Chains A and B, each alone.
Chain A
Amino acid sequence: MASSEHSTHQPASLTLYLGTFGMLMLLTVLTIFAGFQNFGMWSTPIALGIAVVKAALVVVIFMHGYSSSPLTWVIILASIFFLTIMLGMMLSDYVSRGWVI
């Protein structure tokens, strides 16, 4: 009972937060640089890829995903899952049925 009287979430180190901030800045520069290159059809996947990495950094470190309970992770992953269903199924419709739009 003694240990359970205290919250066990230890604060992360300052270095980790500053390092994460540095990484996010670096990736912002990278996404702008990539935006000015002509990657053709790969432009959007590259831009989204960088954005996903940035979002993951924010979720795992700033939002304490690293110490969140498994149940919280179920919700986090569920939000991605439902968003994928919404975008994926809708797009499959639009891409495969030219006469719809």
Chain B
Amino acid sequence: MSATNQTVQDHGQHHHHKDLAHHFDTLEQQHDANTLGMWAFLLTEVLFFGGLFAAYTIYRYKYSAMFEEASNHLDITLGATNTVILILSSLTMALAVRCSQTGQAVWTGRWLLITIFFGLMFLGVKYFEWKHDYNIRLMPGKDWAGKDFFWWQYAKKAKEMEKHDKGHSHALPDPKDVLPDNHPSLGIKGIQESQQARLFFLLYFCMTSLHALHMLVGFVLIGIIAYFAYQGAYSPDYYSPVENIGLYWHFVDIVWIFLFPLLYLLGAHMGH
């Protein structure tokens, strides 16, 4: 792997390219087989995320009005910023693969590290977003005392307050001023609404965190490939690992391309 000047090895009577495995006839065939295998993995990933998209589809269909209102509690500006950052990271990844195809080993490594940088930026934005969602009690689940943590009336009140001071202060509502989600005065409809909103945020957290988990895995893999790229392991004849990590990263980008409008933009037309 490390010898870059030694391109041809003599194995008995055959001449083999140093990067060509014995069971392939040509580099081209080897590359196509590698790509095919990666795509087969991505097919399973499509169906993996597909399960969550299926759950989303059902409840979006069933509770469309409430999903639109719940979606309005997400920050479109942050979602859009992250979309731009992630597409930018896809571009730098494409450039990394291109540099490995043209034999620019150092730049392959550099573009890969820049891709990780943008990925970290994405997760940084996501951190502040999740933190805010958590603070206004949008995270489904129980608290340490075993009581419901998710609190729709609280989130609604927080949003109202934000609207009033136009983002000047970030004061949160006093819990004492907010009705519990199952308060009889809300009526059956009000109680059902909080349950439907909870479903939206359950899907929101599951989908965005599964996506973020894929990015974390991506960082490790890209880091490893970047290391080998700096070592000069790849050449225009053999760059399948770079190509495959690229496929993985672009797939993660595609998932976000669908998540952004499906989670953030449902209620945009109703005004914020």
Binding site for B on A (CB under 8 A): 4-12, 14, 17-18, 20-21, 24-25, 28, 31-32, 35-39, 43, 47-48, 50-51, 54-55, 58-59, 61-64, 68-69, 71-72, 75-76, 78-80, 82-83, 86-87, 90-91, 94-95, 101
Residue pair A86, B54 in contact (C-beta under 8 Å): yes
Nearest CB on B from A12, distance (A)? 7
Nearest CB on B from A39, distance (A)? 8
Q: List 9 A-B residue pairs with CB atoms under 8 Å apart, sorted by A's residue number.
A: A4-B28, A7-B239, A10-B101, A17-B95, A36-B268, A36-B269, A72-B32, A90-B57, A101-B58
List the 10 closest pairs (A to B, CB-CB), nearest first: A35-B265, A47-B261, A11-B101, A35-B268, A79-B43, A4-B26, A79-B46, A38-B269, A75-B39, A21-B91
Residue pair A63, B247 in contact (C-beta under 8 Å): yes
Most chain B beta-carbon contacts within 10 A, residue among A10, A37, A39, A79: A79
Residue pair A5, B39 in contact (C-beta under 8 Å): no
Residue pair B35, A68 in contact (C-beta under 8 Å): yes
Residue pair B27, A5 in contact (C-beta under 8 Å): yes
Chain B stretch 221-265: residues in CB contact (< 8 A) with chain A: 236-239, 243, 246-247, 250-251, 253-254, 257-258, 260-262, 264-265
B143 proximal to A (CB < 8 A): no
A50–B260 CA distance with the chains assembled, in angstroms: 12
Give every chain B residue within 8 A of A10 (Cβ-Cβ): 101
- Picked from A32, A61, A68, A91, the residue with its CB within 8 Å of the CB of B61 is A91
Most chain A beta-carbon contacts within 10 A, residue among B31, B46, B93, B243: B46
Residue pair B254, A31 in contact (C-beta under 8 Å): no
A20–B57 CA distance with the chains assembled, in angstroms: 29
A80–B254 CA distance with the chains assembled, in angstroms: 13
B52-90 contact mask (Cβ, 8 Å, vs A): 1 or 0? 011001100110000000000000100010011001101
A59–B42 CA distance with the chains assembled, in angstroms: 12
B177 proximal to A (CB < 8 A): no
Give every chain B residue within 8 A of A72 (Cβ-Cβ): 32, 35-36, 39
Give every chain B residue within 8 A of A50 (Cβ-Cβ): 261
Residue pair B250, A62 in contact (C-beta under 8 Å): yes
Give every chain A residue within 8 A of B101 (Cβ-Cβ): 9-11
- The number of residues on chain B lying at the interface, defined by a beta carbon within 8 Å of a beta carbon of chain A, is 59
Give every chain A residue within 8 A of B62 (Cβ-Cβ): 94, 101
**Interface of A (DSSP majority class):** helix
Residue pair B94, A4 in contact (C-beta under 8 Å): no
A18–B90 CA distance with the chains assembled, in angstroms: 11
Residue pair A62, B90 in contact (C-beta under 8 Å): yes
Residue pair A31, B31 in contact (C-beta under 8 Å): no
A42–B136 CA distance with the chains assembled, in angstroms: 31
Give every chain A residue within 8 A of B246 (Cβ-Cβ): 62-63
A61–B90 CA distance with the chains assembled, in angstroms: 11
Give every chain B residue within 8 A of A9 (Cβ-Cβ): 28, 31, 101
Residue pair B87, A25 in contact (C-beta under 8 Å): yes
Residue pair B42, A79 in contact (C-beta under 8 Å): yes
B40 proximal to A (CB < 8 A): yes
B17 proximal to A (CB < 8 A): yes
Residue pair B87, A83 in contact (C-beta under 8 Å): no
Given contact pairs A37-B269, A58-B250, A62-B94, A5 touches B17 in the complex (Cβ within 8 A): yes
A47–B237 CA distance with the chains assembled, in angstroms: 40
A63–B51 CA distance with the chains assembled, in angstroms: 24
List 5 other contacts, CB 8 Å, given A31-B261, A38-B269.
A17-B95, A24-B90, A51-B261, A62-B93, A63-B247
